[in-house]
Amino acid sequence: MPKTLHLELPDDAFSALRSSPEEFGRELRLAAAIKWYEMERISQGKAAELAGLSRSAFIEALSRYGVSPIQGRPSDLEHEVQEALSDADASSADTGKADA
């Protein structure tokens, strides 16, 4: 069940941002979701949900904000790719034995 959060902001906050309270709320949810995703505190799916967007729309938003849709360090990604390739090779070898 959704929760409601009430924030107190200065009266001129919306005029300074040139947005309505509703637009500000959407932007705030998106900004928080992007930042928490960038900090690796939440997953991409959870961030999209928090932002109120589909996952593909969230990925597009990440691009607009200059945040990579891929979490983790390059070395972590390289390790995951190597593991996947090893698993695929092992699966192919097992399939070949079954055919023999």
Q: Is 100's pLDDT higher than 70?
A: no
For residues 74-92, give the mean pLDDT: 80
Predicted confidence at residue 95, as pLDDT, reads 64
pLDDT digits (tens, 9 = 90+) for 28-69: 999 999 999 999 999 999 999 999 999 999 999 999 999 999
pLDDT digits (tens, 9 = 90+) for 5-34: 888 888 787 777 788 888 888 999 999 999
Please enumerate in sequence order all residues whose Cβ is within 8 A of that of 43, keeping only pairs 6 or more positions apart, or say none.
37
Cα→Cα distances 7→24, 28, 43, 66, Å: 11, 11, 25, 27
Q: Between vectors from CA 40 to CA 37 and to CA 46, what angle results, nearest 5°?
A: 45
40: Cα separation from own chain's centroid = 9
d(CA 62, CA 69): 6
Alpha helices by DSSP H, listed for 39-73, are: 44-51, 55-64
